């Protein structure tokens, strides 16, 4: 169908794009806006590589229609460097060897961010629960869980 105008807040800045509302949000981010940080793994909601925060909630952007971005507030990995929680999570991932090939990392960081926004002092079980929708084929998850735990502790100081 023909393009429509979509207005939303992305990484705390207002945006308006003209695009096909039948596209996926993932494609608007990557193709229309050139934000390549959000990855596509499975395209069917199973791997979490495309996780973004939509109106405060972690969601898979491969399963959101572009039209549904209208008036929304969206955070992607690109917005994490301007945010204390986001920055600390990223640092802890790098320092804790929670990144190997890195393909899953943006998705994990967005899930971790959503968790720490809601629950600044999660238990290890709560961390595991929050990242259960993200797959990583390199790290074995333990360094990722450790990194999120460390980020929570660092932020609490």
Ligand X SMILES: Cc1cc2nc3c(=O)[nH]c(=O)nc-3n(C[C@H](O)[C@H](O)[C@H](O)COP(=O)(O)OP(=O)(O)OC[C@H]3O[C@@H](n4cnc5c(N)ncnc54)[C@H](O)[C@@H]3O)c2cc1C
Binding site for other proteins (CB under 8 A): 1, 4, 21-24, 43-46, 48, 51, 54, 57-60, 62-65, 67-68, 70-71, 111, 114, 129-130, 132-134
State the nearest-atom distance from the C-beta of 41 to ligand FES, in Å: 4
Binding residues for ligand X restricted to 58-117, rule: CB under 6 A:
63
β-pair type (73-75, 51-54): antiparallel
Determine the 3-state secondary structure of 63 from DSSP: helix
Residue pair 57/114 in contact by the 8 Å Cβ criterion: yes
140 binds ligand X, rule: CB under 6 A: no
State the nearest-atom distance from the C-beta of 62 to other proteins, in Å: 7
Task: Give the phi and the psi of residue 127 in degrees, each rounded to 5.
Answer: -65, -45
46 binds ligand X, rule: CB under 6 A: yes
Tell me which residue of 82, 59, 77 sits closest to 69, measured CA to CA: 59
Q: How many residues bind ligand X (CB under 6 A)?
A: 4
CA separation, residue 31 to residues 78, 100, 101, 118 (Å): 15, 26, 23, 30
- Name the residue nearer to ligand X (CB basis): 62 or 85: 62
Site for ligand X, rule CB under 6 A: 44-46, 63
């Amino acid at each position: 169908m023909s393009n429509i105008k979509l207005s939303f807040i992305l990484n705390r800045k207002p945006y308006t794009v003209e695009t096909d509302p039948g596209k996926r949000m993932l494609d608007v981010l990557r193709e229309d806006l050139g934000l390549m940080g959000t990855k596509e793994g499975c395209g069917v909601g199973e791997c979490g590589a495309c996780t973004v925060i939509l109106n405060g909630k972690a969601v898979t952007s491969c399963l959101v229609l572009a039209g549904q971005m209208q008036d929304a507030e969206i955070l992607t990995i690109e917005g994490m460097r301007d945010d204390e929680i986001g920055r600390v999570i990223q640092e802890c991932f790098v320092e804790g060897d929670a990144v190997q090939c890195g393909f899953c990392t943006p998705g994990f960081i967005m899930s971790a961010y959503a968790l720490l926004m809601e629950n600044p002092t999660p238990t290890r079980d709560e961390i595991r629960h929050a990242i259960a929708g993200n797959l990583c084929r390199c790290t074995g998850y333990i360094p990722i869980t450790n990194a999120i735990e460390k980020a929570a502790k660092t932020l609490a100081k």
